[in-house]
Amino acid sequence: MAPTPGSAKKARRESISAMDECLSEFIKRMIVRMPLAEVPATLKMWGFLAEKDLQSLTLWKSKEGLAMEIVNLCESKKATIDHAADLDIVYHHINSKKKLWCVYQMSVLSDSEMNVTDVAKFQAIFKKSVYSVLKNVTINFREFGEALWIRIACGKDCMKPNQYRPTFVVYHTQTPYAFFNGITSAHRSMICQGLLLAAGYRHIQELDLKSRSLESMQDMLFKKFSQPFQSHHPRSLPEKSCTPAIVDKKVSYENIKEKERIQHVMHETFGDGPLPKLEYAAYKVSIWWR
């Protein structure tokens, strides 16, 4: 029995309502998991809501009530899944230390080397590569300084993309390094292939380095990759005295020289700025027996 025109319209309305409900729930959950003190700054960085909308929020409400207030504002402004994904990127950028990051290094530039500073071209090539393999996927980009954040949410089989378990990639266009969080074995090759094509490289491999401090890993790897990154600390190295003063007589002269050498290397590597803090590191050791 064929459905009547009225029942078809009703089914379409229910489908649209269900889609809006899923989006509203996704935005609500993002707001609820944020620390209350971070909500105003996060929403301001997001940039979707106007300043008058932010000022109208009642911050003394319960987090649940505040989340519903923000959801209502988003619904009135016809927020889409792309807007919600952008908010998710901003949240993870602010709270990057809550995630465990791994590093991939690309090598061997292709014959047709592209201009890596052309972010728009990079995004177009990356999207085309991923969409050619998987259709039920959403891809969103956002730039933070020199870092391009990529958010990929994939769905299984014919299911919609799972927005609650996305993969994040942080790529600096001037380097061959990409930092991953939440990548699965099922989608690793697809995402890596998209990076290679978009960035103009041929090979990619995972490094034996993981950390929750994204900035610390970037400091170490960027310094190792290229000397021009020293421009952040242009001051010359201070001259060291040839005859160091021994404060503690129990400390040998050799130990003081070693401390000076370490301080000199640290100053040369990281400049006068704060030293990076590596809270967690994982590495592999290969032992060969003859």
CATH number of 109's domain? 3.30.160.690
Q: What is the pLDDT of residue 227?
A: 46
For the chain, report the end-to-end CA distance as a whole number of angstroms: 78
Q: What is the pLDDT of residue 136?
A: 92
Q: What is the pLDDT of residue 260?
A: 79
The domain boundary residue, chosen from 94, 113, 130: 94
**55/89 same-domain check:** yes
**67/177 same-domain check:** no
What's the pTM value of the predicted model, to 2 decimals? 0.72
Cα distance between residue 130 and residue 152, in whole Å: 10
| 117 lies in some domain | yes
> Nearest to residue 174, comparing CAs of 97, 119, 112, 104?
119
Region 125-137: what's the mean pLDDT?
A: 94
The domain boundary residue, chosen from 217, 235, 255: 217
Q: How many whole angstroms from its chain centre is CA 272? A: 26
Domain that holds residue 170: 99-217
Mean pLDDT of the chain: 81
| 245 lies in some domain | no
| 281 lies in some domain | no
* Type of residue at 247: V
How many independent structural domains does the chain possess? 2
CB atoms within 10 A of CB 89: 20
**156/198 same-domain check:** yes
Cα distance between residue 37 and residue 43, in whole Å: 11
Cα distance between residue 206 and residue 197, in whole Å: 17
Cα distances (Å, whole numbers) of residue 162 to 72, 81, 132, 210, 251: 23, 12, 19, 25, 59
Residue 104 has pLDDT above 80, yes or no: yes
Residue 132, classed as helix, strand or coil, is helix
Residue 11 confidence class, pLDDT cut points 50, 70, 90: very low
**72/178 same-domain check:** no
Residue 16 confidence class, pLDDT cut points 50, 70, 90: very low
CB atoms within 10 A of CB 212: 17
| 54 lies in some domain | yes
**109/181 same-domain check:** yes
Element (H, E) at 113: none
| 225 lies in some domain | no
**74/104 same-domain check:** no
105 or 241, greater pLDDT: 105
Per-residue b or e along 60-85, where b marks 16 or more CB atoms closer than 10 Å to that residue's CB = eeeeeebbbbbbebbeeeebebebbb
Q: What is the pLDDT of residue 257?
A: 76
Q: What is the DSSP string of 2-61?
A: PPPHHHHHHHHHHHHHHHHHHHHHHHHHHHHHS-GGGHHHHHHHH--S-HHHHHT--TTS
**23/112 same-domain check:** no
48 or 157, greater pLDDT: 48
Region 132-160: what's the mean pLDDT?
A: 93
Beta strand 177-181 pairing with 101-109: antiparallel
The domain boundary residue, chosen from 172, 191, 217: 217
Cα distances (Å, whole numbers) of residue 34 to 5, 40, 41, 111, 170: 45, 10, 11, 45, 21
User: Under a CB-based contact definition with an 8 Å cutoff, are residues 204 and 179 in contact?
Assistant: no
Region 196-209: what's the mean pLDDT?
A: 93
| 253 lies in some domain | no
Worst-scoring range by mean pLDDT, 45-54, 64-73, 138-147, 257-266? 257-266
**203/160 same-domain check:** yes
Cα distance between residue 175 and residue 178, in whole Å: 8
Q: How many whole angstroms from its chain centre is CA 6? A: 47
Worst-scoring range by mean pLDDT, 19-23, 166-170, 274-278? 274-278
